[in-house]
Structure 1
Amino acid sequence: MGEPEFVYTTCINTTPERLWQGLTNPAITRHCWRGLTFDSDWRPGSTVTVRYPEHNVTIADPARVVLESDPCRRLSYTWHTFTPEWAAVSGFSEELLARFSAERRSKVAFDIEDLGETVQLTVTHDDFAPGSAVLQAVTNGWPRLLADLKTFLEEP
């Protein structure tokens, strides 16, 4: 049995280019990712800074980096840096913040496949230890976030 992971696949009536923008463009992520934006040039090795503009919160960590970047095909980066500011913005308790912070950093990958009239997006979030509280949280969070992204990208 392999390491625990979260995998989710959906089809979106959009283009690979528009989906890439939905994953990387701050104006779109702010709308679809519940106020969150990313600051990165999206090149392998570059850092990914998380911002919550409405709360004046910036989370910069040199360990949160782009692992792979093939525009409109694949994007992968190391996951969250858990801070008290992040917990406050996200509505997580100090106890859950401590549990999350004790875990190793996970990674997320977005695979984009052009199917013609639709685009298939597969999100793989992995590198969790067995019994991971973060895995449980992303398992609940990703479907909602991806539904919001799909809705936004499919609006006329």
Structure 2
Amino acid sequence: MKALAIREKKIHIVGSPEIKIEGTPVYIDVEGLPDRDFYYLIGVRVKAGDSALLKVIFTSLDKSCFTGDNMGDDKLILKYDIYIAAPVNKVWQALTDGSVTKQYFYGCSVRSTCKKGAPISYLGDGEFNMLDGEVLEVKPEKRLVTTFQALWADNVGKDKPWRVVFWDLAPIGEATKITLVHDQFAGETAAYKQSADGWNVILSSLKTYLETGKPLILNQAA
């Protein structure tokens, strides 16, 4: 791997009680850099919850990770905010219950224990696997973070590294605000373009289902 930069930053590690990282992607919060990102650390021993000045070596096989002033210049991120007239516990159930996701997520049932490190899949008709991932972070009724490997078509699963999806929920009175971030796109790939449209449909369908009890029916005929 090629080292793109070496910088001293105060970081807060989210992960195992104590780990030694050797070129593996680890989710960290880096002071002075954008939140919600993956960086590669080499030869660093850390404890979860520690905040310390460490030398962080950002590495990558391609341009999917950036540092310093050019952070994000070539990396695309999808971000959505939506308000739903439903309590946060109902919204959380809708994200994690396969019988509910089938009503708004292109007919797919989510399958996962939704525990950190667990696999997560979205299965369509005939158990066709639309996408795979791994649960990176879970705070019930607050946050769900997973990797995202598109499998619904041959031309969407080629992006590396796997992308990351963040679901953040915030109660606002009797309603819920959802913030969805889908990042790690290397450019305007097929996965990026299809995901951009797909999330609009999914979030609109989720809102419709939770507020009316009925799936959103779209006439997509040409």
TM-score normalised by structure 1 residue count = 0.82
SS at match of 1:101: coil
CA 130–144 in structure 1, closer or farther in 2 if over 3 Å, else same: same
CA 117–59 in structure 1, closer or farther in 2 if over 3 Å, else same: closer
CA 45–56 in structure 1, closer or farther in 2 if over 3 Å, else same: closer
Identity percentage over the alignment? 29
- Where has structure 1 moved over 6 Å in runs of 4 or more? none
Answer yes or no: is 1:129 the counterpart of 2:201: no
SS at match of 1:102: coil
Q: CA deviation at 1:58?
A: 4.1
Q: CA deviation at 1:68?
A: 0.9
* Equivalent of residue 117 in structure 1, options 166, 169, 174: 174
Structure with the largest fraction of strand: 2
Q: CA deviation at 1:137?
A: 1.0
Larger Rg computed on CA atoms = 2
Q: Measure, in 2, the Cα distance between the counterparts of 1:60 and 1:122.
A: 20
Instruction: Find the counterpart in structure 2 of residue 80 from structure 1.
Output: 149
Once the two structures are superposed, residues 43-94 of structure 1 have per-residue CA deviations (whole angstroms, 9 ceiling, x without a partner) of 1110112211x33324686xx2001110100001011242xxx33xxxxxxx
Answer yes or no: is 1:48 the counterpart of 2:120: yes
* Equivalent of residue 37 in structure 1, options 67, 90, 109: 109
CA 138–58 in structure 1, closer or farther in 2 if over 3 Å, else same: closer
Stretches of structure 1 that go unaligned for 5 or more consecutive residues are 88-96
Root-mean-square deviation (Å): 1.7
Q: CA deviation at 1:145?
A: 0.9
* Equivalent of residue 87 in structure 2, options 15, 18, 27: 15
Structure with the largest fraction of helix: 1
